[in-house]
A = this chain, B = another copy of it.
Amino acid sequence: MSTLILDKNAVRRLLGMPEVLSAVEEAFRLHAEGKAAMPPKAYLTVERGDFRAMPAALPGCAGIKWVSVHPGNLSRNLPSVMAVIIYNDRETGYPLAVMEATIITAYRTGASAAIAAKYLARKNSRTLGLIGAGYQAHTQLMAHAGIFDLEKVNVFDISAEAVSNLIKAFPDLPLRRSSIEEAAASDIVCTLTPSRRPIVKREWILPGTHVNAVGADAAGKEELDPAVLKAATVVVDDLKQAASGGEINVPVAQGIYSPDEVYGTLPEIVAGKRRGRADERQITVFDSTGIAIEDIAVAKLIYERARAQGGYPQVELV
């Protein structure tokens, strides 16, 4: 027995968004059917940031993502978020692989939002609005382009350079620089910022819009005017995480919004336990916080592809 070591270059080479979309959708279905196991995230807090342990099991596999979040790293020319997955055989516990997981996180986050849009956005959605043009915008774009036939992608960022870089990175997609209002007036809107105050106004969101609220990932962060949540059908990936650190966390803490108002979870909708969009004028919001089954599902994909292709380094780790 041996353990595959898959570094960032290997993971990048082995990842493809179409397969990630299928793997994450299937993980949601299994989760809603009670075939996954996922204890709550465990937090280890230190002076300059924190570490999060995200264990999960799916049929045939198990593992843990260990993520560090150190916001001050940018001044040291290091990413603020770094993640590693230990991927195990569920039957024996054997550690089959250790792999870079920052890229996996970006892909699965993009995929889960696009899967939310698949079930919640209007079927004829043709315009995508990206608010925030950082690294997460790349995978959001790839994922949505894998499901929707996009005619226009409106990109807003406070950094003009970030917008230009995104447009250059996808020469075959119909990207254009836009105002935040134009981006918010798209059929599908993805908010991808680290904002701590609402930046998307209620009046900008048209009837029938689907919003993926992705940026808020900790207590105190929010991107949407709470009136958007009040007007919308809100779907979460995990209710407890959403209430404590997702888009709804600030309005919940302020008593403006109650977790009881949440319609349901994306896994429930994927598994057919709840219906998706009800009509053409409904506003829908997916509050994405990220759950460990998404990571382990993608790790499984990468592991199996690496084994099938061969040639990746392996060690007798244990």
Contact = CB atoms under 8 A, between A and B. Distances in A.
A206 interface: no
Given A7-B317, A82-B93, 8 more contacts: A5-B5, A39-B43, A48-B92, A66-B88, A66-B95, A68-B88, A102-B318, A313-B315
Interface residues on A, range: 35 or more
A317 B45 CA distance: 23
Given A86-B66, A316-B9, A51 B44 contact: no
Given A46-B37, A100-B318, A318-B100, A78 B92 contact: yes
A76 B79 CA distance: 42
Contacts of A92: 48, 68, 70, 73, 76, 78
Contacts of A55: 42, 44, 51, 53, 66
A82 B90 CA distance: 12
A70 B84 contact: no
Interface stretch (A56-64, A178-186, A272-280): A56-64
Q: Which 6 pairs of residues, A with B, have the shortest CB-CB distance?
A: A68-B93, A44-B55, A53-B53, A70-B93, A42-B42, A82-B318
B5 A318 contact: no
A49 interface: yes
A1 interface: yes
B39 A42 contact: yes
Contact of A51 (B73, B88, B91, B317): B88
Interface in A57-109: 57, 62, 64, 66, 68-70, 73, 76, 78-79, 82-84, 86, 88, 90-95, 98, 100, 102
A238 to B, nearest CB: 15
B318 A8 contact: yes
A146 interface: no
A53 B189 CA distance: 36
Nearest to A78: B92
A40 interface: yes
Contact of A46 (B57, B64, B86, B98): B57
Contacts of A88: 51, 66, 68
Given A37-B44, A53-B42, A64-B51, A78 B317 contact: no
A110 to B, nearest CB: 19
A73 B70 CA distance: 38
Contacts of A79: 318
Nearest to A82: B318
Interface string A13-51: 000000000000000000000000111101111111101
22 contacts: A1-B78, A5-B5, A5-B315, A7-B318, A39-B42, A42-B42, A44-B55, A44-B64, A49-B93, A51-B62, A51-B93, A53-B55, A55-B66, A66-B88, A70-B92, A76-B92, A82-B318, A84-B317, A86-B86, A98-B98, A102-B318, A313-B315
Contact of A94 (B7, B78, B318): B78
A315 B315 CA distance: 12
Nearest to A70: B93
